[in-house]
Amino acid sequence: MAVGTIAIVILTYTMDTLAKEAPMSRRRQIYEGKAKVLFEGPEPGTIVQYFKDDATAFNNKKRGTITGKGVLNNRISEYLMTRLSEIGIPTHFVRRLNMREQLVKKVEIIPIEIVVRNVAAGSFSDRFGLAEGSPLPRSIVEYYYKSDELGDPMVLEEHITAFGWATPQELDEMLSMSIRINDFLTGLFFALGIKLIDFKLEFGRLYEGEEVRVVLADEISPDNCRLWDVKTNEKLDKDRFRRDLDRVEEAYQEVARRLGILPEGGPRDLQGPDTIQ
Ligand code: TMP
């Protein structure tokens, strides 16, 4: 047998065996959350974030679908994370892969949700009896412990460090980054006629050799921000879904439109190719 023929036989056998054992196109799913699915990335230390159209509220009690949300949040989060990295905020974002997926660095999520508020709304209005839309004397930062079973309870720095969810130094870094992110995003959205009422951030530990760094993770999108039109106070975020308001899809589209990042084909293109495997 010629060398070329032998090579082809070996190659065919190997590919056949591989295909049976682990189809090469199949990626390992690491985690499925309420709005995203995480897959093992193409290189070590990377993850693929797939954005779903699923929406939940009130700790999964209300469920639904917002058509095109995944495509828009993928773009919006890409845009905002890129702008933030330009001002020196370290993030997990690497690059967008397609309509519904982005490549991110694998991090260990710190189980704390940081909420920054500029204007009273949502649970803050309920807790303090303040009308939604009342401006706050200054930006207020709150911490919540990420736990579906406990319903994400609000916690103090004291709880976070005592239980070891984050070290005092990590908490300092998360706090200073959150305040900087708030200042930057408030200005960015205001220039587009949008008030940034409040938002939620998550951070993760990025292990690079001996070094560990705290970086911004998860996503920034109308799913985890409150965004109101400056002139009309119209809600352009997930509160439209939470509160059974109309034109939910249009709100996400409007945010993307003002950011100048609607997908090429416009709103008709929002379903996007379903590249989940
Ligand atoms: P809240 O007023 O309901 O506490 O929400 C504050 C902000 O945090 C708001 O922008 C929505 C966002 N958020 C999330 O991203 N995930 C959540 O689970 C909750 C409750 C709020």
82-128 pLDDT tens trace: 999 999 999 999 999 999 999 999 999 999 999 999 999 999 999 99
Asked whether the predicted pLDDT for residue 205 surpasses 80, the reply is yes
Ligand 1 residue neighbourhood (C-beta within 6 Å): 115, 121-124, 152, 198-200, 224-226
- CA–centroid distance, residue 15 to ligand 1 (Å): 48
Helix ranges (H only) for the chain are 3-21, 69-86, 122-128, 157-162, 168-190, 239-242, 248-259
Rounded to the nearest whole angstrom, what is the distance from the C-alpha of residue 42 to the centroid of ligand 1? 32
Q: Residue 25: its pLDDT value, please?
A: 54
pLDDT at 9: 45
Provide the token pair at 251.
């709100």
**CATH superfamily placement of domain 3-106+245-259:** Phosphorylase Kinase; domain 1 (3.30.200.20)
Residue boundaries of the structural domains of the chain:
3-106+245-259, 108-229
Residue 54 Cα to ligand 1 middle (Å): 16
Q: Give bridge partners of residue 63 from the DSSP assignment.
A: 56
CATH class (in words) of the domain with range 108-229: alpha beta
Per-residue model confidence as pLDDT tens digits over 130-147: 999 999 999 999 999 999
Residue 263: predicted pLDDT? 78
Reported as a single tens digit per residue, the pLDDT across 25-57 is 578 999 999 999 999 999 999 999 999 999 999
Average the pLDDT over 194-213 and give the result: 98
